[in-house]
Amino acid sequence: MSAKNRYYNGPVSDHFDGVRFFTPKGVGPKGVRALLKWQFRTEKAKWPAAFASPHADTPPPSVDGDGVRISFIGHASYLIQARGHAVLIDPVYSQNAGPLGWLGPRRVNAPGIAFEALPKINTVIVTHNHYDHMDMATLRALHRRDRPRFVTPLGNDTLLQRGLGDIAVTAVDWHDHVTAADGIALHAVPTQHWSARGLGDRCHALWASFVLTLGNTTIYAVGDSGFGDGGIFRDVARRFPKIDLALLPIGAYEPRWFMRDQHMNPDDAVQALQLCGAARALGHHWGTFQLTNEPIEAPRIHLNEALARHGVAADRFAAAQPGATFEL
């Protein structure tokens, strides 16, 4: 492990030790031995080569007034339109979630919005630097086309500048907020995860979830997170007592001994919904890239079972499919 941070030079804090970021009370990523055990001594379910969504979206050029329109692009990628402003969260349009544009899991469905059909993008949020969330090819294409402002946790700004050149990027620490437009603010909040682009930069850049306040509407967007003791979700509920919609990951959770501390399973996600107090939730991070062992349909099936087990109405938490749209 490197004794010098590759991306960030800043003061020690309750989640940065001078070289690496960490989640207080959280558990860091597993080591190489556990990784090899998972890869070579456990069985992965076979996914189909294609898992097409029944939906497709062509968003309007702009959404004005007090309405908020959300479109699910796929995996953890969302388009949010409000007050004449368009925000993309973790946009990934590449065919593979990995380095060099071809390594890594291959997508099994098309993005729910064609890249050419995207409206002009004003702001891009990148929650952390894993390849299924920070897709340099997509971010480069967005920069060339729209010159958006990028908002990302500490250290990831260095990665984006190296990959994209002269860009407008704002790096945020946990509990910072950025005004994206009149009446639109992006609040970075803690999440239990980790970061790396290669073998020598583990936890050299911060990770975060974001709470978006758009006029009178509040959306809690979680890119990746373990559940931990639930404290991160209780804290969000205390800071933001009226959340209209939570975007929560429900996939990439098996085997639990390896994934538990970094990825929620559907039962965890339902508990996270209850703790953060959101009126509704959409489940993502499933059905596009096979990152872990569970069958492709398992997150949706297990989500429905968890909702029943916890006494939560089925229509309060849906497993989103690419191209599906929602209005608040």
| pLDDT digits 0-9 by tens, 210-245 | 999 999 999 999 999 999 999 999 999 999 999 999
37, part of any domain: no
pLDDT at site 86: 98
97, part of any domain: yes
108, part of any domain: yes
Q: Looking at residues 132-161, what average pLDDT do you find?
A: 98
Whether the upstream peptide bond of residue 299 has omega within 30° of 0, thus cis, is no
21, part of any domain: no
- CA–CA dist 93, 237 (Å, integer): 32
CATH of the domain at 161: 3.60.15.10
Whether the upstream peptide bond of residue 29 has omega within 30° of 0, thus cis, is no
Give residues with Cβ within 8 angstroms of 116, minimum separation 6: none
- Is a pLDDT exceeding 70 seen at residue 263? yes
Q: What percent of the chain has pLDDT over 70?
A: 99
- Is a pLDDT exceeding 70 seen at residue 68? yes
> Please, what sign has the CA dihedral across residues 192, 321, 272, 185?
positive
197, part of any domain: yes
Q: 1 pLDDT band (50/70/90 cuts)?
A: very low
Cβ proximity of 261 and 22 under 8 Å? no
Q: Which two tokens stand for residue 94?
A: 């590449």
- Is a pLDDT exceeding 80 seen at residue 101? no
20, part of any domain: no
- CA–CA dist 208, 225 (Å, integer): 9
Report pTM: 0.97
**What domain count does the chain have?**
1
Q: Looking at residues 155-171, what average pLDDT do you find?
A: 97
Task: Give residue-wise pLDDT tens across range 164-188.
Answer: 999 999 999 999 999 999 999 999 9
- Taking the chain, what is the end-to-end CA distance rounded to the nearest angstrom? 46
pLDDT at site 102: 79
pLDDT at site 260: 96
310, part of any domain: yes
287, part of any domain: yes
Candidates 239, 223, 154, 157; CA nearest to 191 is 223
Q: What percent of the chain has pLDDT over 90?
A: 95
State phi, psi for 272 to the nearest 5 degrees.
-60, -40
State phi, psi for 281 to the nearest 5 degrees.
-145, 150
Give residues with Cβ within 8 angstroms of 317, minimum separation 6: 248, 269, 270, 273, 280, 281, 282, 283, 303, 307
Write the CA distances from 185 to 200, 207, 215, 235, 302, integer angstroms: 34, 18, 9, 18, 34
Candidates 178, 270, 186, 235; CA nearest to 24 is 235
pLDDT at site 99: 87
Q: Looking at residues 110-116, what average pLDDT do you find?
A: 98
Average pLDDT along the chain: 97
Candidates 141, 155, 159, 145; CA nearest to 91 is 141
pLDDT at site 275: 98
pLDDT at site 2: 57
Show the domain range for 131: 56-327
